[in-house]
Structure 1
């Protein structure tokens, strides 16, 4: 008898991208509303300089790990 091991299928990049979009869009919109009044007179590049590090940190250490852990079976 030969034991065959099924190789796990690779996660779908499209589904992963959809999950990331569904998590990131509301979060970045909320951040823009919260930071907007405090940075109303700032040029766009300065507002983004404040917003982007918050978003990147959140994606790398919070959003993406949670998607990978909680949505693994759908990926």
Structure 2
């Protein structure tokens, strides 16, 4: 019989952060030279939808698929 698992938000958040940091850095390196004369609100208007789309359809499913066993810990483990 398999033990029930529980979703670990701290582990998931840590893995998403590890993916988001290089992702936003790469996006900024691409977008900033193309938008030198733009106001910051105009840049974020381009960056935010791009970032959210990549996270929703790429990063988050990838993290869940690759690290499912790490994110879904066995229920009842102390410290989780």
Whether TM-score is above 0.5 comes out as yes
For the aligned residues, what is the CA RMSD? 1.1
Q: Which runs of 5+ in 2 are unaligned?
A: 72-80
Alignment partner of 1:72 is 2:68: yes
**Alignment counterpart, residue 56 of structure 2, candidates 45, 56, 60:** 60
**Alignment counterpart, residue 31 of structure 1, candidates 27, 34, 38:** 27
Q: Which runs of 5+ in 1 are unaligned?
A: none
Alignment partner of 1:42 is 2:38: yes
**1:51 counterpart residue number:** 47
Alpha-carbon separation, structure 2, partners of 1:28 and 1:56: 10
Give the Å deviation of 1:7.
Answer: 4.8
Alpha-carbon separation, structure 1, partners of 2:37 and 2:69: 45
Runs of 4+ in 1 over 4 A off after TM superposition: none
Larger radius of gyration: 1
